[in-house]
Amino acid sequence: MRSFDIPDHFKSPIISRVKAHRKAMDARKLDFSPSVLDFGAVKIQLARHFGFCFGVENAIEISYKAIFENPGKHIFLLSQMIHNPEVNEDLLSRGVKFLMDTGGNEITPMSEVQSEDVVIIPAFGTTLETEALLKEIGVDIKKYDTTCPFVERVWKRSSKLGGDDFTVVIHGKPTHEETRATFSHASNAGPALIVSDREEAVILAEIIKGTRPRSDFDPIFKGRTSDGFDLVKDLEKIGVVNQTTMIASETQEIADILKAAASDFANTKDTLCYATNDNQKATLGALEEGGADLVVVVGGYNSSNTTHIVEICEKHKPTFFIRNELEWEENGSLNHFNIVTKKRENYPNFLRGEPSQMPEIPTILITSGASCPDASMERVLLKILEKFPESKDVESVLTIWES
């Protein structure tokens, strides 16, 4: 696979070393067990797969290339490059401006963009409507288009379905940039509809089968259908694609539910990206192997793929979702992001008595989503080791582990 030129401050000598060793020992990715580093006072498990994926590294390389190649020019990002605060804050510090927030709300007026300005399309892609607006201004939108190839693959699948007179049902978060972009592309080819979860799929299936009144459709799906959507005709032939960062098993379950209800169902394959799939399998592999007393997941709080890793972990172990090592307070407490309440919660004396019933020598699984820099993972690892000052040094542990 192609390698990318990303800034050194996103890299980690420790994490790179672990990943390189696992790749050398398991090039075909058949082993999803975690890497176990025994520091004596604490054992650290690192998931087999985590961190920057192909699409993220591609987006970062192109973004910094845009900055390097255009000194003195106005450089705009349509929205967040990826859902990681460290990456976005670094781009902002270099003079890049956001045109929209993650919900598509205007931050910098589009009227400020001139034809000679640089506009970077984020990894999530963008809508056809936004593309048309930028083209009308005269901006070259292709030069620094960082749309992930796996997202584009979903668009092609959607277009094929629409061309064959199927309605595209998109499993995704309705307000997410990627889902909005996919919906735009799918709607251009034919009828489209967004379903956010299994519960909504069940309701839609019951409406299709006639066991639930059609009047139940609008309260749930209003604003999530293509123009002129026909509740009867457009639900006869359907196919399912997904936002590339959803949970694979949930997308499959949604497809199965709708397949059983529809008159004609397109036999679409899973449209999850490889990194999301690998990260989820690696997380499950680590949890199934057992041994971890708790899990620390590192990443942006608005990152879909990271949030789904948290969901998976919470079903098995006490799980703590943190942005980076700065979520530890000086008093030793930890700020954890609750994905249900969408609020940060503080745990006092974390790893030294909290959570309760921690063994004398705990085992901690650390992982992250596809948008988290390895440097963040390293700093979290080192921060945890600070809580166990009697731990062995990193170099000696890595040397023994590699032998």
- DSSP summary character for residue 30: -
Cα–Cα distance list, 325 to 6, 317, 354, 362 (Å):
21, 21, 17, 19
pLDDT of residue 249: 87
How far, in Å, CA of 147 to CA of 184, rounded? Answer: 14
Whole-number mean pLDDT of the chain?
A: 93
Which residues are CB-contacts of 154 (< 8 A; sequence separation ≥ 6)? 182, 241, 242, 244, 271
pLDDT of residue 375: 97
pLDDT of residue 42: 96
How far, in Å, CA of 139 to CA of 145, rounded? Answer: 12
Q: Give the residue among 13, 37, 35, 20 at the shortest CA–CA distance from 393.
A: 37
Residue 50, Ramachandran bin (φ over 0: left; ψ between -120 and 50: alpha; else beta): beta
pLDDT of residue 354: 62
pLDDT tens-digit readout, 136-183 = 999 999 999 999 999 999 999 999 999 999 999 999 999 999 999 999
Q: Give the residue among 348, 347, 360, 357 at the shortest CA–CA distance from 388.
A: 360
pLDDT of residue 109: 93
Amino acid in position 368: S
pLDDT of residue 163: 94
Q: Give the residue among 163, 158, 167 at the shortest CA–CA distance from 186.
A: 158
pLDDT of residue 316: 94
Residue 134, Ramachandran bin (φ over 0: left; ψ between -120 and 50: alpha; else beta): alpha
How far, in Å, CA of 314 to CA of 77, rounded? Answer: 34
Which residues are CB-contacts of 181 (< 8 A; sequence separation ≥ 6)? 124, 125, 126, 127, 151, 155
Strands 237-242 and 264-265: parallel
Cα angle: 95, vertex 100, 101; to 5 degrees? 100
Domains, the chain, with CATH or none: 8-53+274-402 (3.40.1010.20), 54-137 (3.40.50.11270), 149-265 (3.40.1010.20)
pLDDT of residue 1: 59
pLDDT of residue 209: 95
Annotated active-site residue 112? The verdict is no
Q: List the structure tokens of 162.
A: 């629409």
pTM exceeds 0.85 for this model: yes
How far, in Å, CA of 7 to CA of 310, rounded? Answer: 27
Cα angle: 148, vertex 149, 151; to 5 degrees? 65
Q: Give the residue among 123, 52, 51 at the shortest CA–CA distance from 82.
A: 123
pLDDT of residue 60: 95
Which segments in the chain show pLDDT lower than 50?
none
How far, in Å, CA of 87 to CA of 101, rounded? Answer: 15
How far, in Å, CA of 76 to CA of 116, rounded? Answer: 11
Catalytic residue among 57, 178, 200, 327: 178
